[in-house]
Structure 1
């Protein structure tokens, strides 16, 4: 009986210790998660960026000192430079436009990016160009201020970019939408379409649109100047869409100086973007199977290859 009693005692002690260990583990895990969330607002002291600002899925990393500094003006007194506020509001407006007016699937909702928990926006100095968008989710990088352990999508915006006069944030965000739908990164497709879709956010009363190439073969080698191709294609294909005005919700998006972010009157001519991206996605699936390359895992040279240009063009232009 004493042996049995001792056995019950030891067994009880064992489970008590195990329970204590699990409680300790859960406590430590909770603390780690809380610290990880707080870390978004507190970059590493030696990081390239010294400040953050978050809005929805967007996390902006910036600094007010040195080569990569943004102007420090803060007219609305919210503790965030107006330049950062204006970049965020253009991103939010573009995200709203792409999802509600064009009915596109948000990048983070595509299977390719299912492990990503947000979109990082890094504001830095550019010697050339004004922005970049990366198609692969990034791993944690304390030097750039990234404190989360989760993968994220990344955009870089030039610190010289004033979004009141530049469409760079909307342009770079649209690339993430393109990357979510298909693997193709040939420049006439990515840059030409993104340049054309800057139109709703542009201050230009006459948005420059070059002539469209006369054949699919002529698109190879083109880039931003392929926006004429998409402009002409939209005019031909969007006749069936109603010429309704933007939802009144677009008026909520204003810059810190009170000027509107969305300036174009109607989304009807841009409705075909959804069809184009879906067709590109279908072609990407077909080519993945033909080449034996996993979807979402195409090597960079294949993504940028011109071998798909004619097929892609024909997919977009079919009735």
Structure 2
């Protein structure tokens, strides 16, 4: 499970709720990274340091409030992304999902990541042998070398936690492809929309599958137009957190995740898998590509037929 990796690396419409089983387990992992500073905003605890190998590369503090701008910008993007996902797309936040009943917050570790922008973990953990149950949390890691007023990695990694809450599937083309497309909700599309590919043609890819999810969403749902209050949110330097006026296909995100939740539940029952404890290798298995494809392609077909 992802806890092993973590230990080593240290409204309007009412959405459907997944079937409730038992509360999740909280794993204790070794504290291998020393991050001696923290900014807490709502459920997010952003941990960082100014010295050593994990020190922030950019320590500018333009507003002289004692917190580096990059850390405040991470908090701003995370809170805005959460509000978009929860309040505008009407998704269930991960901390409200049955799988994550033991989690009391989201730890965000800003540290050296050796060439990658971020990681998210699908298990509830607490760091260090002396940690209490109130310390149990979900975890995101972000690199210490980027400026997050110009990069949507915090929103990307947070969306993974939403995905984990809805379904047991961890296929790369689903997780990374959909999350890369979700980035366009904040920064806009980076390339022109390609012709809609078939689901089977993208199952061997990861980020490149973003075009499939974008095309599917635009077939299955309408565009999200941002309220003025969201467009007014800015980073420390005045740049807008949301650089676009609308998110094409955004209103399909909830129905896609709910369809994948139902497909995941059906696969668990069919294959007699343990609820909330499916082995990592099984979650990533290509044998579930057909389950995912059938679930989401039916949404576009149903809308056309309606």
TM over 0.5: yes
Q: Given the alignment of the two structures, is residue 228 of structure 1 paired with residue 228 of structure 2, yes or no?
A: no
1:182 matched to which residue of 2?
A: 167
Query: Does structure 2 retain, via aligned residues, the 8 Å contact 1:186–1:303?
Result: yes
State the Cα deviation string for residues 257-301 of structure 1 (Å, max 9, x = none).
011101111245211010110000001111111111122211000
- Report the Cα distance in structure 1 between the residues aligned to 2:219 and 2:134, rounded to whole angstroms: 47
1:316 is displaced (CA, Å) by: 0.3
Cα offset, 1:213, TM superposition: 6.6
1:51 aligns with 2:37: yes
The 5-angstrom pairing of residues 12-27 of structure 1 reads none
The answer to whether residue 289 in structure 2 is matched with residue 297 in structure 1 is no
1:115 is aligned, of 102, 116, 124, to 102
* Structure-1 residue corresponding to 2:142: 157
Are the equivalent residues in 2 in contact too, given 1:117–1:151 (CA < 8 A)?
Answer: yes
Q: Identify the match of residue 308 of structure 1 among 288, 296, 306.
A: 288
Count the aligned residue pairs. Answer: 267
Match of residue 251, structure 2, among 268, 271, 296: 271
Aligned residue for 2:121, secondary structure, equals: strand
- Secondary structure in 1 matching 2:275: coil
Which structure shows the bigger proportion of residues in helix conformation? 1
> Shift in Å at residue 210 of structure 1?
6.8
> How far, CA to CA, are the matches of 2:50 and 2:226 in structure 1?
36
SS at match of 2:208: helix
SS at match of 2:164: helix
RMSD, aligned α-carbons? 2.0
Alignment of 1:21-170 (within 5 A): 48-70=34-56, 71-141=58-128, 149-170=134-155
**Are positions 1:262 and 2:242 aligned together?**
yes
- Asked if 2 retains the 8 angstrom alpha-carbon contact of 1:161 and 1:168, the reply is no
Higher relative contact order (CA 8 A, sep 6+): 2
Residues 1:226 and 1:308: Cα distance change in structure 2 (over 3 Å): same
Q: Secondary structure of the residue that 1:271 maps to in structure 2?
A: helix
Instruction: Return the offset for 1:47.
Output: 6.0
SS of structure 2 residue aligned to 1:235: helix
Residues 39 and 47 of structure 2 are in contact (CA less than 8 Å); yes or no, is this contact kept in structure 1? yes
Alpha-carbon distance between aligned partners in 1 of 2:148 and 2:83, rounded to the nearest angstrom = 17
Query: For structure 2, which runs of at least 5 residues remain unmatched after alignment?
Result: 1-31
- State the distance in 2 between where 1:213 and 1:266 align: 20
Max Rg structure: 1
CA contact (8 A) 2:193 2:215 kept: no
What residue in structure 1 maps to residue 202 of structure 2? 219
CA distance in 2, matches of 1:176, 1:157: 14
Q: 2:151 and 2:287 mapped to 1: Cα distance?
A: 33
Contact 2:196 2:215 in 1 (8 A): no
Offset of residue 216 of structure 1: 2.8
Per-residue CA deviation, residues 200-219 of structure 1 (Å, 9 max, x unaligned), is: 222x6x52257467433222
